[in-house]
Amino acid sequence: MSVFEPIHEELELVEERLRGVVSAEHSFPADPLTSLLDCGGKRIRPALVILASKFHACDAEKVLSLAASVELLHTATLVHDDLLDGSLLRRGNPTLNASLSTEAVILIGDYLFARAADLAASTKSVPIVTIFAQTLMTICSGELRQAFDDGDRLRSRDNYYQSIDSKTASLFAASAEAGGVLSGARTAMVDAFRAYGRNLGMAFQILDDILDFTGDEKELGKPIGSDLRQGLITLPLLLFLEMHPKADIGSAIRGGVPGREEKIQDLVGLVRNSAAIASAWDEAERFTVQSKEAAQSLPPNEYREVMLDLADHLLDRRR
Amino acid sequence: MSVFEPIHEELELVEERLRGVVSAEHSFPADPLTSLLDCGGKRIRPALVILASKFHACDAEKVLSLAASVELLHTATLVHDDLLDGSLLRRGNPTLNASLSTEAVILIGDYLFARAADLAASTKSVPIVTIFAQTLMTICSGELRQAFDDGDRLRSRDNYYQSIDSKTASLFAASAEAGGVLSGARTAMVDAFRAYGRNLGMAFQILDDILDFTGDEKELGKPIGSDLRQGLITLPLLLFLEMHPKADIGSAIRGGVPGREEKIQDLVGLVRNSAAIASAWDEAERFTVQSKEAAQSLPPNEYREVMLDLADHLLDRRR
């Protein structure tokens, strides 16, 4: 992303490390994993590590290891998630489970967790490893809560926010926090990094959930309505239901209902054209404002500017 | 196990920590996991941590956390293994995948990895966390090699030993090594702990592989011939094939072959009654002797005696 220009050299070095992880392992076909990592993502999590480390002089090698670690941890969760959801496309590319056995995909996910843990440990910092382990626990607990939830129970906003906090915001927060900790930042600054990351992560996930209703399938690289298809009630639908308490969505979110796909398309259309979308954008903006407030408390420099730009950039797709 | 009498108090405290891990998590039904942990195992890995820590004064709390960590890591690998193998029984109890969805089992395994990593990190020791992460990588790489191996390719002894080293001996070695490191043992002692653990683990896995041919189903708590049924060629069969190079085993180890179950039973009988079993016991004994040699290099005390007894105890089932 152009907003990352001031740290593009570091991000390229992170790419090299990520490629190294795949090519170092001869036990499995590297191609699907390489394409998963290559096609992949905006590298926001490694960027947060790098940006937060830039406020003090620190060991560049360790920063790169940590940045690669958080991206691998993220990739590991995607690998298992896609398997669990049965998703065949991610960012327009086939998922691992589209071409490999369940067994292979579970093991590759586990292996990526292990590599991520090893990279975190290579920072030789106990606080970093602790942040890593606790974030992994938060992510797993959140996934478990979701898996053992009643699939079609109407969720409250509180539940929704708790869920995206575990699933997404926790790793954003941990990435920024850990970058700060690694550079020796004091508590107040580390808290600001963490608050910036967390709020940015909340906004990021809300945006993702909005685009699942309003986005362009080609741009997204996956079908619209994916969350509904998995029985997942996200913020736009929650807000829609607050506005239309009598709307019957059961047949769209429950599996095995005849004509379900049509119901899903209908519901996506209803939500997309409702005031719920603008309202969800307002929520995303609220978190973005909070992330910028946290960043404003940091000493001014070009990296703080990138952090502020990144928060604004997230909302650009609204226009 | 009676051999662990001198450390039975510590082992009971480890049990408490393991139960705490399950009861602390309200996101999933605790019953199946509690029974998996309860019914479970001989706690050899936590015992190795405790024994190796006993040669110097050290922080008992950290030793217990590390001991619980290695057992949880082991349990996490069992959870994913049983799922991959489709095993419905372990030690006579239903596996998690016998009662829960694939999704739930993958997530519970991931969660246990996370808890294990967090317990390792709670020792606040970088070398311990590094040992933990690298052992996890070794285990995962081994599993991947096995998964992407030609299922029915005849394996060499070298491949077999490499495979059980990754799968089993690596965690035995790491447990003993980490216990020593945590207590501040010097390099030569740590090397001895590691060698003891590794050789014990090799003997342990060979014994397990022998019992899959010669054991009593009730005692084992799972059907005989499980490895063959998964297309896995272990030491007794390897030795049998060295003695009978023309034996045709393809129809017993390949899935989807008509009448396969009968072929498996026949092959199990052939191997069980062959000289391959005694030869496999000799191999196990060879590793046991090496583990005792490593233990003999340690200063004499009651914990060294337990380590020596444990190695002998493994071979007791031969008689």
| Best residue in A119, A148, A163, A181 for a mutation probing chain B (most B CBs within 10 Å) | A148
The predicted pLDDT at position A26 comes to: 62
**C-alpha to C-alpha distances, B168 to B60, B151, B209, B225, B309, nearest whole angstrom:** 26, 20, 12, 19, 20
Question: Number of helices (H) and strands (E), helices first, in chain A?
Answer: 17, 2
| Best residue in A125, A140, A230 for a mutation probing chain B (most B CBs within 10 Å) | A140
Q: Which DSSP string corresponds to B25-87? A: --SS-HHHHHHHHHS----HHHHHHHHHHTTS---HHHHHHHHHHHHHHHHHHHHHHHHHHT-
Chain B interface, Cβ < 8 Å to A? 25, 27-29, 80, 83-84, 101-104, 106-111, 113-115, 117-118, 120-122, 124-126, 129-130, 132-134, 136-137, 139-141, 143-145, 147-148
Return the half-sphere exposure (C-beta side, CA atoms, 13 A cut-off) of residue B90.
23
ipTM > 0.90 for the complex: no
> A144–B107: do the CB atoms touch at under 8 Å?
yes
Tell me the chain A residues in contact with residue B130 when contact means C-beta distances shorter than 8 Å: 118, 121-122
Higher-confidence position of B56 and B95:
B56
> B126–A122: do the CB atoms touch at under 8 Å?
no
> B103–A147: do the CB atoms touch at under 8 Å?
yes
Segment B109-150, tens digit of pLDDT? 898 999 999 999 999 999 999 999 999 999 988 888 877 775
Q: Is the per-residue pLDDT at B258 higher than 80?
A: yes
Segment A66-110, tens digit of pLDDT? 999 999 999 999 888 888 777 777 777 778 888 788 888 888 889
> A113–B108: do the CB atoms touch at under 8 Å?
no
Segment B200-237, tens digit of pLDDT? 999 999 999 999 999 888 777 778 898 888 888 999 99
| Best residue in A83, A118, A150 for a mutation probing chain B (most B CBs within 10 Å) | A118
> A106–B106: do the CB atoms touch at under 8 Å?
yes
Band of the pLDDT at B315, cuts 50, 70, 90? confident
Chain A interface, Cβ < 8 Å to B? 25, 27-29, 80, 83-84, 101-104, 106-111, 113-115, 117-118, 120-122, 124-126, 129-130, 132-134, 136-137, 139-141, 143-145, 147-148
Chain A nearest C-alpha distance from B21 (Å): 12
> B117–A126: do the CB atoms touch at under 8 Å?
no
The predicted pLDDT at position B83 comes to: 83
Closest among B281, B12, B255 to B152, alpha carbons compared: B255
* pTM of the full structure: 0.91
| Best residue in B25, B27, B146 for a mutation probing chain A (most A CBs within 10 Å) | B27
> A124–B120: do the CB atoms touch at under 8 Å?
no
Segment B260-282, tens digit of pLDDT? 889 999 999 999 999 999 999 99
Chain A nearest C-alpha distance from B305 (Å): 34
| Domains of chain A from N-terminus onward | 2-318 (1.10.600.10)
Segment B14-64, tens digit of pLDDT? 999 998 887 766 666 667 777 777 766 789 999 999 999 999 999 999 999
Tell me how far apart the alpha carbons of residues B139 and B115 are, in angstroms, rounded to a whole number.
17
The C-alpha angle A41, A116, B103, rounded to 5 degrees, equals 75
Q: What is the DSSP letter of A43?
A: -
The predicted pLDDT at position A151 comes to: 53
Amino acid at A217: E
> B117–A133: do the CB atoms touch at under 8 Å?
yes
Residues 6+ apart with CB under 8 A from B188: B297
> A25–B111: do the CB atoms touch at under 8 Å?
no
Identify which of A28, A84, A124 has the shortest CB distance to residue B103: A84
Closest among A280, A147, A94 to B102, alpha carbons compared: A147
Q: Which DSSP string corresponds to A189-250? A: HHHHHHHHHHHHHHHHHHHHHHHHHHS-HHHHTS-TTHHHHTT---HHHHHHHHH-TT---H
Tell me how far apart the alpha carbons of residues B146 and B249 are, in angstroms, rounded to a whole number.
19
Tell me the chain B residues in contact with residue A106 when contact means C-beta distances shorter than 8 Å: 80, 83-84, 106
Tell me how far apart the alpha carbons of residues B108 and B28 are, in angstroms, rounded to a whole number.
8
The predicted pLDDT at position A121 comes to: 93
Tell me the chain A residues in contact with residue B117 when contact means C-beta distances shorter than 8 Å: 117, 129, 132-133, 136
> B113–A136: do the CB atoms touch at under 8 Å?
yes
The predicted pLDDT at position B27 comes to: 62
Coil, helix or strand for B225? Answer: coil
Where chain A has pLDDT below 50, the residues are 152, 319
> B117–A136: do the CB atoms touch at under 8 Å?
yes
